[in-house]
Structure 1
Amino acid sequence: MNTAQPQLTLYGAQASGSIAVEAALTLLGIPYALVKGATWAEEAARDRVAPVNPMRQIPTLVLPDGEVMTESAAILIYLADLHPEARLAPAPGDARRTQFLRWMVYVSSAIYSLHWIKPDVQRIGAPPGARESVVNAVHDRIAFCWANMDKQVAPGRYLLGDELTVLDLYVTVVSRFGPWRERFYQAAPRMTPVVQRVDAEPQLQAFWPERFPPD
């Protein structure tokens, strides 16, 4: 067990995008201080993260020297590259690296980013009364994007072959957001066994129920 004092501070919340980062830190055995708070729902949580991230969003990671990282995909790539011995990302020069970067950014930009709309549809100019129809349209778009990715990947045990990477962690977490796993399974049958395998990852069996409880 790693008993070192945390040198990283992560702002995050249960069942949020920070969970993929927390899962990576867990697999890496890196201690971290967690500042909890659902920024999409709690003004106090937004105020806590504001001094280090003016966007007042999570995940936000503060490095030992005080440098701040935001954007879940960037944090995951950074952590994996910082610890190549863990093999949580293809190394530069690895034939899988191109698709790894492609799909990490795709999940972030084409899927995860859409969830920003749902708490307040006025962010895209829609009236509050249109929230249900807007959210339904967002969920349809997310399902389409999962299906598009599913058609273009050729998983082994994991998305890039036989080794678990932070891409698998990212997809496993984001696929549990709305429109939720049942629809993900319908849209992405080739990726379904992968996320189920990550759900069952022995090193994360204590982590998942605490930080992202099953529906």
Structure 2
Amino acid sequence: MAARSGGTITVYGAAASGSVAVEAALTLMGIRYRLVEGATWQDEAARTRVEPANPMRQVPTLVLPSGDVMTESAAILIWLGDAHPEAGLAPAPGDLRRAQFLRWMVYVATAIYALHWIKPDPARVGAPPALREVVVDAVHDRIAECWAIMDRQMTPGRWLLGDRLTMLDLYVAVVSRFGPWRRRFYAAAPRMTPIVRRVDAEPRLADFWRRRFPFADGWEG
């Protein structure tokens, strides 16, 4: 599928993963892309497919029309917002919201999203496999605490940064659907809760959510 710039964007991604935030942004921007599907955290074939573009063998990975590679979900979202200012999904340099936009995008990526890397294999942090359940519970406790810390410092309007939807809204809405799942997020982050529900209900993403991260029974946890 052709990107609006006339080239082709390839997205290595997976349903119900961090790539969904990137795919949602591309959908809102009207930028078509070629999707290479694969849950790299559980599928060796998917890891093999993405490895030539990203030696970390992770999604999301973007290959741009120029052939350049973008990885790291927050970096991709920030770059897309800056590359397409007409979409209005990222405060521009000089905008008073820019500092908080960058702050919280990086916070979600490093303080919250990064913790999910531990859960499939606790040996990554030196814990034996027998303690996986204990490690996962501790990770979920920390994630909930981090959401609460962020929530206490937010003063949302209709959206997290005011009256316009941004990449931060998409990012929080997607990442908050990972463990420990939304019900705990709602309890930890009451100020942000109405915003993520508004993203869930965004009409322009209704078909997209059904395909890429459906609201199946029990999805809130």
TM-score bin (small chain): over 0.9
- The change in CA–CA distance for 1:88 and 1:3 in structure 2 (over 3 A counts) is closer
- Residue 127 of structure 1 is matched in structure 2 by 128
- Residue 108 of structure 2 is matched in structure 1 by 107
Return the offset for 1:213.
1.2
Determine what percentage of the aligned residue pairs are the same residue.
73
Give CA-to-partner distance per residue, 1:53-103, whole Å, 9 cap, x none. 000000000000110000000000011111111110111000000000000
- C-alpha contact (below 8 Å) 2:159/2:169 kept by paired residues: yes
Distance 1:30 1:192 in 2: 28
- C-alpha contact (below 8 Å) 1:6/1:33 kept by paired residues: no
Return the offset for 1:209.
1.3
Q: TM-score, normalised by structure 1?
A: 0.97
Q: What stretches of structure 1 of length at least 5 have no aligned partner?
A: none
- Residue 82 of structure 2 is matched in structure 1 by 81
- The change in CA–CA distance for 1:68 and 1:129 in structure 2 (over 3 A counts) is same
Return the offset for 1:6.
6.3
- Residue 13 of structure 2 is matched in structure 1 by 12
Return the offset for 1:50.
0.4
Query: Moved runs in structure 1, 4+ residues, more than 3 A?
Result: 2-6
Structure 1 segment 29-178 matched on structure 2, within 5 A: 29-178=30-179
- Residue 207 of structure 1 is matched in structure 2 by 208
Give CA-to-partner distance per residue, 1:92-147, whole Å, 9 cap, x none. 00000000000000000000000000011111110000000000000000000000
Return the offset for 1:3.
9.0
Letter in 1 for 2:148: A
Distance 1:197 1:184 in 2: 15
Distance 2:151 2:118 in 1: 24
- C-alpha contact (below 8 Å) 2:3/2:33 kept by paired residues: no
Which region of structure 1 is more displaced relative to structure 2, 178-187 or 5-14? 5-14
Distance 2:201 2:90 in 1: 20
Give secondary structure in 1 for the equivalent of 2:92: coil
Q: What stretches of structure 2 of length at least 5 have no aligned partner?
A: none
Q: CA RMSD in A?
A: 1.2
- Residue 23 of structure 1 is matched in structure 2 by 24
Distance 2:176 2:32 in 1: 26
- C-alpha contact (below 8 Å) 1:6/1:31 kept by paired residues: no
- Residue 196 of structure 1 is matched in structure 2 by 197
Letter in 2 for 1:169: L
Distance 2:136 2:52 in 1: 31
Q: TM-score, normalised by structure 2?
A: 0.95
